[in-house]
Amino acid sequence: MSITKEKKIEIINAFKHGENDNGGSVESQVAVLTERINNLTEHMKLNHKDQHSRRGLLMMVNRRKKLLAYIKKRNQSEYEELIKKLGLRK
């Protein structure tokens, strides 16, 4: 259901801005959230009555939505590049 430490580090390295970025940039946060959302979505397909996981999934989706809105407000081209890389629609 959750992602491994190695997978998280791999995602952060793919989306980090500089050498000192350890996963705190908005883009890497969105990428990690997207991976967690995808994993939890697969869990929800098998366990549709799991209301606690559903709440966690909705909270993650809303957090990602807010972070994406921030990126879009800050830099439109960066936003479009990020959603294309992550395979998100919009």
> Which CATH number do you get for residue 38?
1.10.287.10
Question: What DSSP string runs through 54-89?
Answer: HHHHHHHHHHHHHHHHHHHHH-HHHHHHHHHHHT--
Q: Are 3 and 36 in contact (CB under 8 A)?
A: yes
Phi, psi of 50 (to 5 degrees): -80, 90
Structure tokens at 67: 């972070």
Name which of 22-26, 27-31, 69-73, 79-83 the model is least confident about: 22-26
For 28-71, write each residue's pLDDT tens digit. Answer: 999 999 999 999 999 999 999 999 999 999 999 999 999 999 99
pLDDT at residue 15 in the model: 92
Q: Which domain holds residue 71?
A: 5-86
pLDDT at residue 20 in the model: 86
DSSP code for 44? H
Count of all residues that appear for the chain in the document: 90
> Can you give the pTM of this predicted structure?
0.91
Q: For residues 64 and 78, give the distance between their C-alpha atoms in angstroms, rounded to a whole number.
A: 15
Q: For residues 51 and 68, give the distance between their C-alpha atoms in angstroms, rounded to a whole number.
A: 26
Number of domains comprising the chain? 1
